[in-house]
Structures are given as structure tokens and as C-alpha cells.
Structure 1
Amino acid sequence: MISETSAEDVFELAWFKSSYSDSSNSNECVEVAIAQAVVHVRDSKDVHGPRLALAPTAWTGFVSYAAGQ
């Protein structure tokens, strides 16, 4: 996990929901924003709450793992 992103950078990100998010249940969505060398992840219900900042390789590993579940 990367923790070098400033608060300013986070608010300028273009967030999007996964195409796999269940639109019938808005309580189970995450949003992702891709920045230079960092993938940001947050809970769509709490856009001002905690966020993860992951290296692209960590994000790729997580997505590969989640897709197999």
C-alpha cells in the first residue's frame, strides 16, 4: 500500500464504479480512481472516508484474486 498521496491529489481524481458493481444493491460498491503509479480505492457510500492507495501490481493481484472467487 502506498501512503504518499496528498489530500489535494485525492480530491482531483476521477472516480468510477466497477462494471461488476451490483446496481440493485448500492451498499456493495467500491469506486476506483487511477492516478500516476497509484490506484485509489474507496467505499462509494463514504466518499470522504478512508481510501486505499495501491501500487498497480498490488491492484492487479487483488483483481486477479477477486475474479477467481
Structure 2
Amino acid sequence: MKARIPKHREFIIDFPQDMDNAKANEGWDKLNQIVEDYKKSHNGQSVYAATFIEDCEPAVKKLQEEYGFNYTVQEVQ
């Protein structure tokens, strides 16, 4: 079976290694909630949507301030 995954961009999130696991897990939960909220507000679109990064980046930056993680945006094929 073959599946074609569209070319898209992704957030690559890197939490500090010395961060408490509970706090990092809380941060991941909030990041996952951004994705779920995006799906709900964009008729079920996912991270493969062309504007996903632009639509979600302000919320990701806000969490970055709170949790101190680094992120990059990477193009994936």
C-alpha cells in the first residue's frame, strides 16, 4: 500500500533537557491543544494545511515564552 503525504512544513519543538518532565509534558499537551483547536476552527484541516504554520505561530510563540522551548520550521516532503 502506498500513501502520498503532501509536502508541508512542520514545527520542530525542542524542550530544554534540564526541564522537569511534568512541565515539559504540560507544554506538549498545550501544543497538542493548539493543533486540535486549529482542526476545529478550520473545518478539520490538519498540519498539512498550507497556512498551518502562519495560523498557529503566534500561539506557539506565546507558549515558547512560558515554557522556554526552541522551535524551528522545517519543510518536509
TM over 0.5: no
Question: Which TM-score applies when normalising by structure 2?
Answer: 0.28
Higher relative contact order (CA 8 A, sep 6+): 2
Answer with 1 or 2: which has the greater Rg: 2
Q: Which has the higher strand share?
A: 1
Question: Which TM-score applies when normalising by structure 1?
Answer: 0.30
